Amino acid sequence: MMHFFHIPTMGTCFTADSPIRVAPLGISSVISLVDDILLEQLRKYYSGEYQMSYEPIPLNAEDGRAKRITAYLNLVQTIVSRNFKEIQELPLGNDNRKDLYFRLLPDDHPLKKSYLDFLAAPESSPERKHWEAELSAQMKPGSIDVNIMVKLDRVPLDASGNKMDDLYSDARAALRGYALSDLDHSAIVFSAGINQNLYQYASQFPDFYRDENGVIKKKIIVKISDYRSAMTQGKFLARKGLEVSEFRIESALNCGGHVFPTKGQLLPQILAEVCENRESLLYSFKPAVRKYYENVIGDVSRLEKECGTRITVQGGIGTADEIARLKDVYQADGVGIGSPFLLVPEATLLDNTTRTALVNATSEELYLSFASPLGAPFNNLYTSGSERARRQALAENHPGTACPKGFLRNNTEFTPYPVCTASAFYQKKKAEALRNAGLSDEELEKELAIVYEKSCICDQLGNAALIACGIKAEADAPQAICPGPGAAYFNREYSLTEMVDHFYGRGKSLASENRPHFFAEEIRIYTEWFAKAVARYDGDPDYGKWLEEAGVNLLNALEFCLDIARGKRFGNENLESITEAVQTGKPRIEYAAKVLAAKISSNRI
């Protein structure tokens, strides 16, 4: 890896072309594979931009989803390779993009030190040309990685309305599209849970295994919420001979997009547990992998080369000092930096209106919503085009939207086939059912608000890209965006150099002076989440028990965080904000826990 950070997937479109933008400069990024229709539109656009041939893959094409994904990834690979080669062949020392490549590197990277030695040498030095050749030979592009939300695994219907074979499910088709692509030295990120059928399916593709030279062409990264989930997924994959090249620990709530709350465990506790058990996490899967290579592949010599497993962290990280803590205390091998790069036009794909709204967003406007039809909490921007359109439609008594893509169709309450809860059809049916349910005016208003909060995110999350590329008109394309709450503390557009320098601690910090520590921000978000979860609690006994345990765990986690606030400070870390978050959050959590206990007790009577 050339850099200590990567740019994780954001939404369906915001990093869809990030490898084209940053991989030639050595920076790795991740493309979402949720929306193959969007990727097809971008393939057509970039084929035109780079004067390459384009053959459309229609919606009704056999195995079309997989083929569209393969075709887009192959195009990205071709463009990145071309652009990287152009940079690599530039003369060094002329303040061009090749110099930018080396200037962006972390200061402790060996190539950065060699580059500075090169610049310091006299131009007449005979060694200078030799150094330039060596530096050029050691340049590498950033990795073109992809992400699958493994539980988004809808089985589509055929032209006759019948379910297709499981082979064509959304997740399997996406995996197949990636596995059959030309990407090399790349990785797939499995996120948002466990899908054993998908992991089993991955074992059918040789690119996920070591070749005769012990090299894995397409690596597997598993996004985890805790140590237990790492062990569970790692063991299952290992039984299929599949190695995890990286465990990517993400804050459950202090991140962008969908969030999946833990049972009250906070990121510092999870990091400490993973760090304490690092050796077992890295080596406990090897016997199962070896057994598979013995019995199935028949060549254990491929395992002689030590590939290693990285442990990285992402979710709300905002300063170089916080990165220093992750490296020193928790032995992180790298970090993911997401939302701040939404404000870097050189790195991500947004239209001007959406980026401006994000620049001006306050912490109150970046909120945890229930807008997603998936059912999981979803980070949202109150001033986004999508939210404005939803509120306007509701004011005009036309709630809901069309459902053009259907990736989140999962409700069969009123139909024998799944529909989306953000659709106008569902919301009309649900509203009618609620109005006939004999609810009080207050109860009805509350239930209708829950229904009408849903947004068409699987389509509207792609609109920012389509507007930016001139494919759609802004008036016809409400833009959804799902930044993490930390975006509120960055308040303008930035150059790529500015943002990279910020996270490497070079120069003045770009973050607002009042920005809380990312551990403190997580405490605040969990406090808000727990209070809202208790307020929305509907009497389900199993969920009630789960929430009770989460409340107890949260209070214990606050004490753990206080110990951090009293300990060693890295640089200018805002440790005081951790103490403040605990002092503010503790009484709110205690009060919500009492309310929950009363609700559960009343349900038992």
| Model pLDDT for residues 279-332, shown as the tens digit of each residue | 888 888 999 999 999 999 999 999 988 878 999 999 999 999 999 999 999 999
- Please list, residue by residue across 389-420, b when 16 or more beta carbons sit within 10 angstroms of its beta carbon and e when fewer do: bbeebbeeeebbbebebbbbbebeeeeeeebb
Please provide residue 368's backbone torsions phi and psi, each rounded to the nearest 5 degrees. -85, 115
Q: Residue 161 — very low, low, confident or very high, per pLDDT cuts 50/70/90?
A: confident
Q: Which residues pair with 411 in a beta bridge?
A: 419
Please provide residue 314's backbone torsions phi and psi, each rounded to the nearest 5 degrees. -150, 160
Contact predicate 209/179, CB 8 Å: no
pLDDT exceeding 70 applies to what percent of the chain? 100
Q: Which residues pair with 147 in a beta bridge?
A: 32, 189
pLDDT in tens, 329-367: 999 999 999 999 999 999 999 999 999 999 999 999 999
Cα gap 33→186, rounded to integer Å: 14
Identify the pLDDT of residue 82: 97
Q: For residue 581, how many C-alpha atoms fall within 13 Å in the half-sphere facing its CB?
A: 29
Q: For the domain with range 516-605, which CATH number is right: 1.20.58, 3.30.2310, 1.10.10, 1.10.287?
A: 1.20.58
pLDDT exceeding 90 applies to what percent of the chain? 78
Report which of 65, 42, 29 is spatially closest to residue 171, judged by C-alpha positions.
65
Cα gap 556→21, rounded to integer Å: 43
Compute the average pLDDT of residues 461-476.
Answer: 95
pLDDT over threshold 70, residue 159:
yes
Structure tokens at 454: 């849903």
Identify the pLDDT of residue 30: 98
Cα gap 420→414, rounded to integer Å: 11
Identify the pLDDT of residue 425: 93
Domains of the chain: which residue ranges?
Answer: 1-142, 351-480, 516-605
pLDDT over threshold 90, residue 458:
no
Cα gap 354→384, rounded to integer Å: 7
pLDDT over threshold 70, residue 76:
yes
Cα gap 292→222, rounded to integer Å: 20
Cα gap 269→560, rounded to integer Å: 7
Contact predicate 260/192, CB 8 Å: yes
Q: For residue 201, how many C-alpha atoms fall within 13 Å in the half-sphere facing its CB?
A: 20
Identify the pLDDT of residue 129: 84
Contact predicate 447/432, CB 8 Å: no
Cα gap 226→229, rounded to integer Å: 6
Report which of 4, 245, 25, 248 is spatially closest to residue 142, judged by C-alpha positions.
25
pLDDT over threshold 80, residue 158:
no
Q: How many residues does the chain have?
A: 605
Identify the pLDDT of residue 193: 80
Tokens 């940079």 sit on residue:
87
End-to-end C-alpha distance for the chain, whole angstroms: 59
Contact predicate 449/399, CB 8 Å: no
Identify the pLDDT of residue 604: 62
Compute the average pLDDT of residues 412-418.
Answer: 88
The DSSP 8-state label assigned to residue 536 in this structure reads: T
pTM of the predicted protein model: 0.94
Compute the average pLDDT of residues 517-543.
Answer: 93
Cα gap 27→346, rounded to integer Å: 12
- Please list, residue by residue across 235-257, b when 16 or more beta carbons sit within 10 angstroms of its beta carbon and e when fewer do: ebbbbbbbbbbbbbbbbbbbbbb
Q: Which residues pair with 11 in a beta bridge?
A: none
More confident residue, 428 or 408: 428
pLDDT over threshold 70, residue 502:
yes
